């Protein structure tokens, strides 16, 4: 790998990490420099080998005491410039005013083959933006964020990454007393929609322009010479957001708290809180127990994503100039989402070409899933086993449906569509299994791993991480991880509390 770590030999220590911090080059109004607050007796929980490889590190080395101390916040690397950023945002559609990194501290960025990657500690202590919070994250939510970040990356969905997870016996109060943990997460930048809303809401156009120019210079340099680079920035962020949400819908992922301060300027899935993966399909499913009005239900993610882009457009309007110019940039959302979603669905159904009648096929499929509350992931995975001329191959798939005649009718339409393009069973199965995961982070799987970890057994986290890193592989030895959720899983609730 072509970064400074390559030339350091085989033994890399935490002090060797050649941190830079481009965000620290902005004026002090954008952040607060501060040190993480140490935690007592930190211990290693898990590390992601794929995420470590991005940085040129070996995940095995991350279990050493020097890395555990660094990535818990108990020591700071010599070249690190720790800081927490300020931002604002809309929460559940209501303007919340100033927010900021209330428990996240950015250590700096490291060079990679694909550009700098920021490393940020989540749960590293109070900051000036903590408001009434204690700046800590609990083991329960940290395991969920760590696992889901890497599960999403393995699914090919744009996301921040999670390098490692450490824990401490220190207790903090939530609904009950819980032990603490720190997630080291990675992204090229953690700038959010709310970062721009912050300055626009205060009428500070100089700072707004500085932030936009920083983002364009470092992450969208192709727009630097455009007639209106801020319009181009808005349009591209809108496109990326639409594509990201299409990926979410296609895999059944629900973010749970799509506030504008949780929306990445790079179109990455950011801030894993009360997320969930669709199981028994219900388009109106709400994965966040706190979301009493269902603003962030599965069905609402698409329009809310558009709404959030409008909030970003409003923040950038002083730089863009004319409302109709901003409106033109925002108009790319719906067609971009539609194109990308159709492409993803064609792949999930093993279709080699796009036809006009596919919209009806897709709509009928979602209606069938809704009426029967069929398991979303198992439906698409088992659909890959369907054979054109062997109706008996449908039995495992039919078992997901209460109304089997309704399924049979849809399957007949689907087979007709497949024959229309001379689909070959073996080729289609291989293609569908490359895009339809067998393994997702079901809530009950995460809960099992969490409870084991709370009792001192970390092997459940390690095993589940290894399964989720290969979501499309058959992994017959891990088939139990792909099973329908047990009855008790229906009573699990996930909220904004962490």
SS3 114: coil
CA 498/CA 138 separation, integer angstroms: 6
Give me the residues paired with residue 138 across strands: 180
Answer yes or no: 261 catalytic.
yes
CA 245/CA 488 separation, integer angstroms: 29
Q: CA separation (Å) from 255 to 270, 272, 323, 390?
A: 9, 7, 30, 39
CA 448/CA 465 separation, integer angstroms: 13
User: 328 and 231 in contact (C-beta within 8 Å)?
Assistant: yes
List, as one string, the DSSP characters of 346-360: HHHTT-SS--TTHHH
CA 60/CA 12 separation, integer angstroms: 12
Active-site hit among 101, 261, 271, 375: 261
The 8-class DSSP code of residue 40 comes to S
List, as one string, the DSSP characters of 221-255: GGGTTSSSHHHHHHHHHHHHHHHHHHHHHHHTEE-
The 8-class DSSP code of residue 280 comes to B
**Under 8 Å CB-to-CB from 114, ≥6 apart: which residues?**
54
Catalytic residues: 261
């Amino acid at each position: 790998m072509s970064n400074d770590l390559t030339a350091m030999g085989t033994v890399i220590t935490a002090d060797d990490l050649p941190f830079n911090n481009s965000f620290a080059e902005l004026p002090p109004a954008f952040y607060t420099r501060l040190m993480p607050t140490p935690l007592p007796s930190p211990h290693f929980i898990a590390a992601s080998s794929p995420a470590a490889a991005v940085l040129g590190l070996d995940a095995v080395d991350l279990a050493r005491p020097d890395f555990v101390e660094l990535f818990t916040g108990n020591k700071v690397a010599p070249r690190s410039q720790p800081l927490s950023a300020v931002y604002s945002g809309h929460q559940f559609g209501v303007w919340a005013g100033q927010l900021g990194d209330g428990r996240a501290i950015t250590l700096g960025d490291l060079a990679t083959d694909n550009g700098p990657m920021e490393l940020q500690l989540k749960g590293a202590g109070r900051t000036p933006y903590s408001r009434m919070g204690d700046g800590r994250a609990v083991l329960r939510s940290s395991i969920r964020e760590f696992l889901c970040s890497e599960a999403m990356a393995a699914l090919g969905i744009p996301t921040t990454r999670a390098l490692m997870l450490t824990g401490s016996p220190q207790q903090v109060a939530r609904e009950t007393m819980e032990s603490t943990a720190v997630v080291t997460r990675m992204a090229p930048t953690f700038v959010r929609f709310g970062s721009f809303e912050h300055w626009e809401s205060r009428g500070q156009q100089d700072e707004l322009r500085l932030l936009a120019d920083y983002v364009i210079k470092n992450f969208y340099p192709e727009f630097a010479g455009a007639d209106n680079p801020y319009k181009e920035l808005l349009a591209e962020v809108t496109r990326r957001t639409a594509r990201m949400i299409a990926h979410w819908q296609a895999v059944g992922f629900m973010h749970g708290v799509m506030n504008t301060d949780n929306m990445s300027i790079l179109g990455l899935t950011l801030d894993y809180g009360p997320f969930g993966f669709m199981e028994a399909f219900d388009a109106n499913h709400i994965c966040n127990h706190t979301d009493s009005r269902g603003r962030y239900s599965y069905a609402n993610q698409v329009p809310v994503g558009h709404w959030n882009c409008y909030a970003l457009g409003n923040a950038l309007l002083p730089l863009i100039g004319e409302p109709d110019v901003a409106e033109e940039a925002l108009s790319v959302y719906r067609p971009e989402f539609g194109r990308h979603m159709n492409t993803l669905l064609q792949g999930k159904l093993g279709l080699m070409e796009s036809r006009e009648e596919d919209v009806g096929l897709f709509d009928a499929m979602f209606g069938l899933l809704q009426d029967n509350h069929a398991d979303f992931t198992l439906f698409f995975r088992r659909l890959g086993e369907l054979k054109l001329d062997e109706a008996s191959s449908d039995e495992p798939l039919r078992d997901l449906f209460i109304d089997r005649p309704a399924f049979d009718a849809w399957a007949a339409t689907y087979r007709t569509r497949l024959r229309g393009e001379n689909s070959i069973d073996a080729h289609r199965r291989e293609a569908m299994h490359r895009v339809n995961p067998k393994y997702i982070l079901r809530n009950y799987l995460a809960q099992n791993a969490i409870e084991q970890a709370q009792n001192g057994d970390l092997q459940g986290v390690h095993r589940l991480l290894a399964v989720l890193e290969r979501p499309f592989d058959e992994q017959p030895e891990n088939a139990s991880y792909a099973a329908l959720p047990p009855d008790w899983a229906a009573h699990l609730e996930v909220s904004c509390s962490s």
